[in-house]
Copies of this chain bind each other. A is one copy, B any other.
Amino acid sequence: MSVTVAVAGASGYAGGELLRLLSGHPDVEIGAVTAGGNAGTALGAHHPHLVPLAGRILVETTAETLAGHDVVFLALPHGQSAVIAEQLGNDVTVIDCGADFRLLEADAWVEFYGGVHAGAWPYGLPELPGQRDKLRGAHRVAVPGCYPTVSTLALLPAVQAGLVDASQLVVVAVSGTSGAGKAPKAHLLGAEVMGSASAYGVGGVHRHTPEIEQNLAPYSDQPVSVSFTPVLVPMARGILATCSAPMADSADYETLRKAYEVAYADEPFVHLLPEGQWPQTQATLGANTVQLQVALDQRTGRAVIVAAMDNLTKGTAGAAVQCMNLAKGLTETTALPLVGVAP
């Protein structure tokens, strides 16, 4: 018996990626595909890669067009999800790819996003300890931000095992430009982006900073503090996060590596690479995977963890489908590629 789904914000990048994955899901029937300004146009005009759905016409994003589906995915600009969600009953599972319901603390919301805090939904990172069970049967899910997903998965085993000083975490994450969305802006033009790398949101002001800290804090004995810097680089997809922290005095490389081996031994989508092999984003392109490697810098005493992920797949739409699978009692891994598209 199929799960019927609607995708709101279907003409954007997250919406397109949701439909790419959902179109291959054997237990899903795709219902309404909705948009704002693009309502009335064919999906294929925005996503010519979605061949089987190309003729679908985008309808207006409203509670009415979305109601009546088993699952509604929201891929809307920040701040728009709450209004829609409150009009959808608990018989509809709502999975929000936006930020509206990610942060637990109203203060952090106000500081980093501004406006009124809409609240917090079950957080869609099944790889957090115990989180998988909270997502089973959930009616509302807040899909994590892309940087928080990869940074959290990169740092959690070391933090949780007390192997690093969690008050001095440093994350520098390079990202492709699809993470910035499809709304046209001059600094995201191809001619600006190609051949250039640039940092932004420097100095702890990027909105994903409190989300990373929120994820790690419950597993740390000490206060968690993350210095986070995102860097735009010339690629469409992919995040490579370089994470580091001072190692605890007692810890050594073997302990560090072992912590990651144990943490992710049974995780279907998080893979510690063989020693000597370093992650590259291309290997995760279009896949729901995170690839990790760890090192101990003997000279400086810092643990360095590098993680690669596709920001649109495991970083957004893949995570959303994974959460849907859990929420609706389907097999967690269904329709989620383990194999990337490379080169």
Contacts and interface: CB of A to CB of B under 8 A. Distances in A.
Contact of A343 (B13, B200, B283, B304): B13
Given A194-B234, A282-B192, A289-B51, A295 B340 contact: no
The winner among A45, A190, A298, A304 for most chain B CB atoms within 10 A is A190
A24 B194 CA distance: 25
B177 A287 contact: no
Nearest to A196: B282
Interface string A175-219: 011101011111011111111111110111000010000000000
A291 B24 CA distance: 20
A334 interface: no
A236 B190 contact: yes
Contacts of A59: none
A91 interface: no
Nearest to A302: B227
Interface stretch (A70-78, A92-100, A273-281): A273-281
Given A172-B172, A188-B184, A304-B229, A278 B198 contact: yes
B227 A196 contact: no
Contacts of A178: 191, 343
Contacts of A281: 195-198
Interface in A266-315: 271, 273-274, 277-287, 289, 291, 293, 295-300, 302, 304, 306, 308
Interface string A125-162: 00000000000000000000000000000000000000
A220 interface: no
A89 interface: no
Contacts of A231: 174, 240, 242
B237 A234 contact: no
A238 interface: yes
A116 to B, nearest CB: 22
A158 B306 CA distance: 27
Contact of A45 (B199, B277, B286, B304): B277
B299 A204 contact: yes
Given A189-B188, A343-B236, A300 B198 contact: no
A191 B282 CA distance: 10
Contacts of A341: 20, 49, 285-286, 341
* Nearest 4 A/B pairs, CB to CB: A203-B295, A190-B193, A49-B340, A196-B282
A112 B277 CA distance: 20
Contact of A342 (B16, B225, B291): B16
B49 A274 contact: no
Contacts of A180: 191
A331 interface: no
Interface string A238-263: 10101010100000000000000000
